[in-house]
Amino acid sequence: IMKLKFVISLLLTLSVTLGHAQSANLKVNQIFDGRVVPKERMVLTRVKGRSLSKYGLTYYRSARFVATRWERDQCIAIVENDMANNRLGSSTKRSEKHTSITLMLKPKGTTNCFISFVCSKESNNQYNTIVIYMEGTVKTIAELKKRINN
């Protein structure tokens, strides 16, 4: 019975954790789910709880990988789709070798949500890429950047 309680508890915890970004029906979930870049090529990180409180965040999820040009273009299209359909504010910087997009999504109740995408050209067809989804009490992109950079 103790093992059964543990398994049920674990499954409930996982379902809550996995449901974070999914509940917002975001296209960016395609990236985290490995539908653009295989999961074996990604470093996936999830953080919840007190360790994020100094940043005004309650949930952090990232995917870091080296993308091909096609994969990079797919990721940009996905983030831009979420930007077009869900954003309250955004910040975009683009050059030949670097793309940076940060957007604030419509809040989920009292929780503010953000997506950040950063991609830098490493070689001809290789792009160091990171996609981040965050939730918390931070009110704006400027405040988020300030908290993270301090």
pLDDT value of position 147: 84
pLDDT at 84: 87
Our measurement of the distance from residue 50's CA atom to the centroid of its chain's CA atoms, rounded to an integer in Å, reads 19
CA 22 to chain centre: 11
Provide the pLDDT confidence category of residue 23 given band limits of 50, 70 and 90: very low
- pTM recorded for the entire structure: 0.81
Q: Of 74, 23, 69, 57, whose CA–CA distance to 132 is shortest?
A: 57
At residue 96 the predicted structure's pLDDT band, cuts being 50, 70 and 90, is confident
pLDDT tens per residue across span 124-139: 889 999 999 999 999 9
Strand 43-48, strand 98-108: pairing: unpaired
pLDDT band with cut points at 50, 70 and 90 for residue 150: confident
Diameter over CA atoms, the chain: 59
- Cβ neighbours of residue 121 under 8 Å, at least 6 residues apart? 96, 97, 98, 127
**H or E segment and range at residue 84:** helix 69-86
Residue 8, pLDDT score: 44
Average pLDDT, the chain: 84
Reply yes or no on whether the pLDDT at 18 is more than 70.
Answer: no
**CA–CA distance, 72 with 77 (Å, rounded to integer):** 9
Residues in Cβ contact with 140 at an 8 Å cutoff, skipping those fewer than 6 apart: 89, 104
Between CA 119 and CA 112 the distance in angstroms is 24
Residues 34-77 pLDDT 10s:
999 999 999 999 999 888 988 999 999 999 999 999 999 999 99
Selected residue with higher pLDDT from 43 and 22 = 43
In this prediction, residues 7-18 reach a mean pLDDT of: 40
